[in-house]
Amino acid sequence: MLKIAITGNIGSGKSTVCRIFESLGTRVYYADPEARKFYQRDTVKEAVKNRFGDNVFDQDNLLIPSKLAELAFNDDKKLKQLNAIIHPLVLDDFLAWADEPKNESYILYESALLFESGFYRHFDHSILVTAPVKIAMKRVMNRDGMLKEEFMKRLERQMPDEEKIPLADHVIHNDESLPLIPKVIALHDQIMSTIS
């Protein structure tokens, strides 16, 4: 069974691509939502408080994701510190999830910071989903109501597509010039042909 990682910058449409893969019967591990459960662990809470302060947690000692994101995405050093706390836990969780006995040819690991974290080295292949900045920004503003300034701040904290493309084994250009579903099906068929 192949372990394949998939990534893309904010607004690239990687989640949509993942849903298409899921409709083809591929299991997908979504790293960002899975990471949130680790913030319930006392050891993680303590580590986060030590680096970011108590105010990223509410009165019930529950994480306030928006406050943590605001601090982390505005400071490269703090983002690296946060990743150092969470990423190893997520990778271990993924590996346990991947070992669940299933009859499948490949699985996907979806993560926004795949190349930035260096995690792509743990996988057999990597897929990068790209989109022009204007299209990505429009998607995020419509979906999340995010302001242009906030979108650009988030984007600046991510490695540019030009640097990611040479690192990726496969690239899906989600620029709305051609339908997305046939592109994903073609890549699925290509992956399956290398396995069988």
Taking only the tens place, the pLDDT of each residue in 37-96 is: 999 899 999 999 999 999 999 999 988 988 888 888 777 788 888 888 998 899 899 989
Residue 4: φ, ψ to 5°: -120, 130
The model's pTM: 0.87
- Average pLDDT of the chain to the nearest whole number: 91
Q: Walk me through the domains of the chain, giving residue ranges and CATH numbers.
A: 1-27+105-196 (3.40.50.300), 33-101 (no CATH)
Find all residues with CB under 8 Å of 154, minimum gap 6, and list them. 10, 73, 146
pLDDT at residue 196 in the model: 62
Higher per-residue pLDDT: 71 or 109: 109
* Cα maximum dimension of the chain: 54
